[in-house]
Amino acid sequence: MIKRLLLISLVLGILSGCSLVDDVNNSLDYTKEATTFINEVSQFAESISELAQQAATQTDAKETLTKELDAMKAQISEFNGIEAPAFASNVHEQLVALNDTLLTDINGYMDQIQNGVTDFQNSGMAQTINKITETMDMLQNLQP
């Protein structure tokens, strides 16, 4: 009887330990995905600024610019669909809100491109992207 109780206790202990390991892995996965996303947004800002300057005079650069904007919209939608662990929910909610603003900025900028305006700096995207990259500090300070 005692052996069975010990065996059951051991099994329950192992199973609860597995849950803890899963929680830590999910936390690390989210932190890694969010960090990667923020870095991609930062790289996007750098490449878009250059493409916007080129798009003012080159038709093929304008097409590339539009493709890059569409690709970022897809990345934003994908990131917004991630389920954040409880400890990161506040940061994730802030990122999702900023991403929604960035989507609006991108759509507005794409409308401007259709009208021949390619000025990235005055598009509002640069400010929103800066706010997104500022969340990196909060993300790095998260504790599961």
**Of 81 and 118, more confident:** 81
Task: Please indicate, yes or no, if residue 2 is contained in any of the structural domains.
Answer: no
Instruction: For residue 26, give Cα distances in angstroms to 15, 99, 143.
Output: 17, 22, 12
Task: Please indicate, yes or no, if residue 56 is contained in any of the structural domains.
Answer: yes
pLDDT for residue 21: 47
DSSP single-letter state for residue 119: -
Q: How many domains does the chain have?
A: 1
Output the pTM of the full model. Answer: 0.78
Task: Please indicate, yes or no, if residue 114 is contained in any of the structural domains.
Answer: yes
Owning domain of residue 130: 24-140
Task: Please indicate, yes or no, if residue 30 is contained in any of the structural domains.
Answer: yes
User: Residue 58's closest CA among 127, 113, 98?
Assistant: 113
Task: Please indicate, yes or no, if residue 57 is contained in any of the structural domains.
Answer: yes
Query: How far is residue 81's CA from residue 84's CA, in Å, rounded to a whole number?
Result: 9
Instruction: For residue 125, give Cα distances in angstroms to 4, 45, 99, 102, 140.
Output: 63, 8, 10, 6, 24
Task: Please indicate, yes or no, if residue 7 is contained in any of the structural domains.
Answer: no
Task: Please indicate, yes or no, if residue 11 is contained in any of the structural domains.
Answer: no
pLDDT in tens, 93-139: 999 999 999 999 999 999 988 888 877 777 889 899 999 999 998 88
pLDDT for residue 134: 93
pLDDT for residue 122: 77
- Phi/psi class of residue 11: alpha, beta or left (left: φ > 0; alpha: ψ in -120 to 50)? alpha
CATH code assigned at 110: 1.20.120
pLDDT in tens, 4-61: 655 565 555 555 554 444 444 455 689 999 999 999 999 999 999 889 888 888 889 8
- CA geometry: angle 40, 63, 113, nearest 5 deg: 90
3-state secondary structure of 143: coil
- Name the pLDDT band for 89 (thresholds 50, 70, 90): very high
pLDDT for residue 15: 52
Task: Please indicate, yes or no, if residue 117 is contained in any of the structural domains.
Answer: yes
DSSP single-letter state for residue 87: G
